[in-house]
Amino acid sequence: MNAKNVDSYQYCCLEELKKISRTRGPKYQHLFKVIVVGAGKVGKTSLTIRFAEDRFRESYLPTLGVDFLTKTVTLDGKIIKAQLWDTGGQEFVMSLLPFYFSGAAGAILVYDITNRNSFNSLEYWLKQIRNNAGDIPVTLVGNKIDIGDQRKISLEEAQTYAKNKKLIYIETSAKTGISVPDLFANVIEVIMENEKKRAAKAKAKPKKAKDEEEFSFWQKA
Ligand X SMILES: Nc1nc2c(ncn2[C@@H]2O[C@H](COP(=O)(O)OP(=O)(O)O)[C@@H](O)[C@H]2O)c(=O)[nH]1
The SS3 call for residue 23 is: helix
> For the window 53-72, what string marks contact with ligand X as x by the rule CB under 6 A?
-----x-x--x---------
| 42 belongs to the binding site for ligand X (CB under 6 A) | yes
Rg from Cα positions in the chain: 17
Tell me which of 34, 43, 109, 162 binds ligand X, using CB under 6 A: 43
Is residue 51 a contact point for ligand X (CB under 6 A)?
A: no
Considering CB distances under 5 to 8 angstroms, the limit depending on partner class, which of ligand X, Mg ion, none binds residue 42? ligand X
**3 contacts: CB under 8 Å, gap ≥ 6:** 92, 95, 96
Q: Which is nearer to ligand X, 79 or 155 (CB)?
A: 155
Q: Is 63 in the site for Mg ion (CB under 5 A)?
A: yes
Residue 174 DSSP class: T
Query: What is the b/e burial string over 163-174, where b = at least 16 CB atoms within 10 angstroms of the residue's CB?
Result: eeeebebbbbbb
Q: How many of the other CB atoms lie within 10 Å of CB of 13?
A: 15
CA 169 to chain centre: 14
Measured from the CB of residue 24, what is the shortest distance to Mg ion in angstroms?
Answer: 27
* Contact call for residue 46 and ligand X (CB under 6 A): yes
In the complex, least distance from residue 104 CB atom to ligand X, rounded to whole angstroms: 17
Least separation in angstroms between CB 16 and Mg ion:
20
Q: Which does 46 bind (CB under 5 to 8 A by kind): ligand X, Mg ion, none?
A: ligand X
Contact between residue 179 and residue 173 where contact means Cβ atoms under 8 Å apart? yes
Q: Which amino acid is at 34?
A: V
Residues that bind Mg ion (CB under 5 A): 44-45, 63
